[in-house]
Chain A
Amino acid sequence: MVEDKSLGSRIFNYTNLIILAIIGLATVLPFVHVVASSFTTSAELAAKQFVLIPTDWSLAAYEYIFSTDTLLKSMMISIGVTVLGTIWSMLLSVLTAYALSRRNLDGRRLIMFFIIFTILFNGGMIPTFLVVQQTGLMNTLAALVIPVSINAFNMIILKTFFQNLPAGLEEAAKIDGCSDFGVLFRIVLPCSLPAIATISLFYAVTYWNTYMHAILYLNNADLWPVQVLLRQIVVLATGISYDGATYTDVPPPEQTVKMAVIVVATIPVLLVYPFLQKYFAKGALLGSIKE
């Protein structure tokens, strides 16, 4: 390729790079501000307002939020729901996706329609709530997992990926005496690591971020996952509540404390992100373009 070295092209390049650098920074700065503020003292935050690198390091905010075990308990609940939920969802999604990736399956088109239709139309919040209630999940952590066992989009991404594996692979395994389960777990899954990693990440992030289902199905504050607690501490404590009531009897937590809770609620996502990043662009594309 002949590189274009004209003046116009160079100006174009530099302007482009500068704007993109600004956009990239603007995206992370709010978060950097929050992280930095959480590691400083309230005094420094009040004096300087915008903190990117704290000069007056302090762990006071973290000591405060971990001084009772409320947050720790929430963290454990969120971690448990995330780990078990991801395993459960992956198991069900992989089984369904693999079965539907088999072209010689009778009724395959009908079943696909049955599933895709649920993306287009559903019973909505109240009828779903009633089913969750009647299946005995109210006020149990299973309510955060069972009603969302399979995400149809994620399942279709997996199915597309399985479908694109060479057919000869399976046939060879079959001839060697593998059962359908054997083919799936010993041949297909090891060949599908990028797709498995991507979809696991998607499920894990969804479970870690679960909020709406918790407020719908859990009345018991002892079961609150981190996101609900975060909302309680940051938003409601600002004195603005959904019903317009203001809470003046309890002093709102200090800014640094709110920052620290935000950081704690975000960290797990940021920890897994770099490891899986190389996979997800490829994985996400697979599903979105085809079918």
Chain B
Amino acid sequence: MNQPLDIAAQEQAKIDKANLKAERFRRIKRNKLIYIMLLPGLLYFLIYKYIPMYGLIIAFQEYKPYQGIMGSEWVGFAHFERLFSEPDFWNIFANTLILFGLQLVIFFPIPIILSLMLNEVRIHMFKRTVQTLIYIPHFMSWVIVVSISYVMLTLDGGIVNELLQVFGFEPVNFLLNPDWFRPMYILQVIWREAGWGTIIFLAAMAAVDPQLYEAARMDGASRWRQMWHITLPSIRSVIIILLILKIGDVLELGFEHVYLLLNASNRDVAEIFDTYVYTTGLQQGQFSYSTAVGFFKGIVGLVMVMFANWLAKKAGEEGVY
């Protein structure tokens, strides 16, 4: 019974589809200048981001530079097997996780606390001055940050050791003593990034409805209670988003920073994945093995981002990606 109707409907659908296609084609043609604008950017991502991803297959080969990716011999998972059986590798894994833990537990809350304090300042000039001062280090390279630390911490006339001696302490060889690597690392991260980290929290705090504070004051809430019961809950979602981003960055501890602090005497605690890839790959020429290390790191990072994002969505937040 319905057949003729169906056929008519199908015909109509076909025509609609054809129209849609034609219209899309016209749209693309009209936008051709826009596609031309996109071209250089897309080429960049293709060549310098996606071709290296294709290059990851050398992790499964015995890559020889003069034979290239096409000509090199396949070795399957041999490099990964070596990776997991190297005691060095597990040490590096542990170092990476410890530095990450320091970032999460010690560094992460600091910009939040700083923002809470800045947010309570009623003198506009003062607030701006402090902000200007604490943003500055973010714009200095790690080389500069590490250099400043070096001239201040060195045994030969560095201010910190001189002061220690004035107060009757023994001078400390901060730069070569492995025990000082982690504190030095995290202090430099705090000095460089804590101020910059306040930008986003302060903006979130500025958006809080003043009536909430008014009402809390009527109820007799002290400044502390207002911070605790109004400011903090109001910026909860921003805190969670930044926490996800941080967790997603689990393995991005900054090659430059660690590389600059690394030396023969603190290697046991300072070597992380990135510096290890650099030494084994570019200095010792083990291209395939170091690519396998980098690949492993990349996969762990990707899984962590997706996990953190999933967790945030579970907790009723928007997520990042």
Q: Interface on A for B, CB 8 Å cutoff?
A: 1-2, 4, 8-9, 12-13, 16-17, 19-21, 23-25, 27-28, 30-31, 33-34, 37, 45-46, 49-50, 92-93, 95-96, 98-100, 102, 104-106, 111, 114-116, 118, 120-132, 135, 146-150, 155, 179-181, 184, 205, 208-209, 211-212, 216, 227-228, 230-231, 234-235, 238, 240-244, 252, 255, 258-259, 261-262, 265-266, 269-270, 273, 277, 281, 284-285, 288-289
Contacts and interface: CB of A to CB of B under 8 A. Distances in A.
B31 A106 contact: yes
A124 B297 contact: yes
B180 interface: no
B53 A121 contact: yes
Contact of A2 (B214, B255, B287): B214
Given A96-B37, A255-B151, A284-B199, A125 B278 contact: yes
A70 to B, nearest CB: 16
Contacts of B223: 4, 8-9, 12
Contacts of B134: 23-24, 27
Given A13-B120, A30-B152, A270 B41 contact: no
A244 B302 CA distance: 35
Classify chain B's interface size.
35 or more
A273 B134 CA distance: 13
B162 interface: yes
18 contacts: A12-B224, A27-B137, A49-B163, A99-B41, A123-B51, A126-B55, A126-B294, A130-B287, A150-B41, A155-B41, A179-B33, A212-B259, A231-B143, A235-B260, A241-B263, A244-B264, A262-B147, A269-B140
A245 to B, nearest CB: 8
B36 to A, nearest CB: 9
Contacts of B291: 124, 126-127
A252 B151 CA distance: 12
B142 A211 contact: yes
B73 to A, nearest CB: 17
B150 interface: yes
Nearest to B130: A24
B260 A231 contact: yes
B139 A269 contact: yes
A105 B53 contact: no
B13 interface: no
Interface in B151-180: 151-152, 154, 156-157, 159, 162-163, 175-176
Contacts of A129: 281-282
B240 interface: no
A30 B190 CA distance: 14
Interface stretch (B4-12, B42-50, B86-94): B42-50
Contact of B148 (A1, A180, A211, A262): A262
Interface in B245-259: 248, 255-256, 259
B150 A238 contact: yes
Nearest to B157: A255
Contact of A227 (B141, B195, B264): B141
B105 interface: no
A127 B277 CA distance: 11
B136 A127 contact: no
A-B pairs with the 7 shortest C-beta distances? A123-B52, A244-B264, A127-B55, A96-B41, A124-B294, A209-B141, A127-B52
A202 to B, nearest CB: 9
A127 B53 contact: yes
Contact of B147 (A49, A93, A184, A231): A231
A265 B45 CA distance: 31
A227 B143 contact: yes
Given A105-B31, A230-B143, A244-B265, 8 more contacts: A23-B134, A104-B27, A114-B42, A115-B45, A124-B298, A180-B33, A234-B147, A240-B175
B281 A235 contact: no
B144 interface: yes
Given A27-B136, A31-B148, A258-B147, A127 B58 contact: yes
- Name the residue among B148, B214, B259, B301 with the largest chain A CB count within 10 angstroms: B148
A258 B151 contact: yes
B191 interface: yes
A235 B145 CA distance: 11
B316 interface: no
A49 B159 contact: yes
Contacts of A102: 31, 34
Contact of B157 (A4, A49, A121, A184): A49
B215 to A, nearest CB: 12
Nearest to A89: B44
A216 B203 CA distance: 38
Given A33-B159, A126-B291, A281 B38 contact: no
B147 to A, nearest CB: 4
A115 B126 CA distance: 41
Contacts of B256: 211-212
B52 A265 contact: no
B211 to A, nearest CB: 10
A16 B287 contact: no
A92 B248 CA distance: 27
B27, B28, B134, most chain A CB atoms within 10 A: B134
A101 to B, nearest CB: 10
A128 B31 contact: no
A265 B41 contact: no
